[in-house]
Amino acid sequence: MIQVRQARSDERARVEAFYRETDSLVTITPSDAVIMAEDGAAVCGVVRLCHEGGTLVLRGMYLREDARRRGIGTRMLRAAEQLIGSQVCFCIPYSHLRAFYGQIGFVEIDPAEAPSLLRERCAAYVQSGLDAILMRRPGER
């Protein structure tokens, strides 16, 4: 049975090891809120909420291949929604995930509507060939 929960601070090394397994060079900061999915003792999915330049950003959603298409990502997204609460939050997903993130109220925005840090990050992703978009979840829902 897959369990989805917020990672404890003493589990950061496990989460970073999972990111490395997915070929992601992610460093988790102490202020990041990390949600993880576990299949027994094995981490099978991770997403985190980061405060960057005064902006809340949903980042780094990864699932093991065998954990995809089983509703686990949606469960992780719903857990993130609880942590986001009434705050404004941004994310930079692939465009084909627009509806997925839309499940919790994220809507695609014009890059001009995003903080410069995120505009620049999204532009760099697109320039490198990724089909990325900027999305925002309005606060006070």
pLDDT (tens digit per residue) in 74-124? 999 999 999 999 999 999 999 999 999 999 999 999 999 999 999 999 999
In the chain, what is the straight-line distance between the N-terminal and C-terminal CA atoms, in Å?
A: 32
Distance in angstroms (rounded) separating the CA atoms of residues 91 and 30: 20
Domain that holds residue 84: 2-137
Span 92-101, pLDDT tens digits: 999 999 999 9
Residue pair 51/30 in contact (Cβ under 8 Å)? The answer is: no
CATH number, domain with residue 117? 3.40.630.30
Low-confidence winner among 59-68, 74-83, 101-110, 131-140 (lowest mean pLDDT): 59-68
Predicted model pTM: 0.90
Q: Which amino acid is at 73?
A: G
Q: Across-strand partners of 136? A: 90, 107
Look at the chain and report how many structural domains it folds into.
Answer: 1
**CA atoms within 13 Å, Cβ hemisphere of 51:** 8
DSSP class of residue 139 equals S
